[in-house]
């Protein structure tokens, strides 16, 4: 079946450090891949997405590249800020089973000033 595995947190970084959050997936068909962010006390927000192999999604300095050969969609940011502290969810959606979104477990990021 379809599944998403992402690195466990929490991840604690100092401001301006480089961020990588690993995400790998298993899917039938051709999934679209997403990163969502959940700030404290708020709902999920779409951060970026990629719909086919080798696509790069980017937003607010975050990037992720759809790697079909390694079934990965790692999230990166060159210089994190305190305001990036949140929980990040990797997710996939395929056209099998009615376009349901399958989420990874989430990775909590703390950024220290």
Partner 1 sequence: GAVVSQHPSWVICKSGTSVKIECRSLDFQATTMFWYRQFPKQSLMLMATSNEGSKATYEQGVEKDKFLINHASLTLSTLTVTSAHPEDSSFYICSASPGQGPYEQYFGPGTRLTVT
Minimum CB separation of residue 78 from partner 1 in Å reads 27
Query: Would you count residue 93 as binding partner 1 (CB under 8 A)?
Result: yes
CA distances from 4 to 12, 78, 81, 83, 85 (A): 22, 24, 26, 26, 22
Q: How far is CA 66 from CA 37, 39, 83, 86, 106, in A?
A: 18, 24, 26, 22, 18
Residue 44 in the binding site for partner 1 (CB under 8 A):
yes
With binding defined as CB under 8 A, does residue 1 bind partner 1? no
Q: Per CB under 8 A, does 110 bind partner 1?
A: no
Within 15-34, which residues bind partner 1 (CB under 8 A)? Answer: 32
Q: Where are the alpha helices (DSSP H) in the chain?
A: none
User: Which parts of this chain interact with partner 1 (CB under 8 A)?
Assistant: 32, 36, 41-46, 89, 93, 95, 98-106, 108
């Amino acid at each position: 079946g379809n599944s998403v595995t992402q690195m466990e947190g929490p991840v604690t970084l100092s401001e301006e450090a480089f961020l990588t959050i690993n995400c790998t997936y298993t899917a039938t068909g051709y999934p679209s891949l997403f990163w969502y962010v959940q700030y404290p006390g708020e709902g999920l927000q779409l951060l970026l997405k990629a719909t086919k192999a080798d696509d790069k999604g980017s937003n607010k300095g975050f990037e992720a590249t759809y790697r079909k050969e390694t079934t990965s969609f790692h999230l990166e940011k060159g210089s994190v800020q305190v305001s990036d502290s949140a929980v990040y969810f990797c997710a996939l959606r395929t056209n099998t089973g009615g376009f349901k979104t399958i989420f990874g477990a989430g990775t909590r990021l703390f950024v220290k000033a």
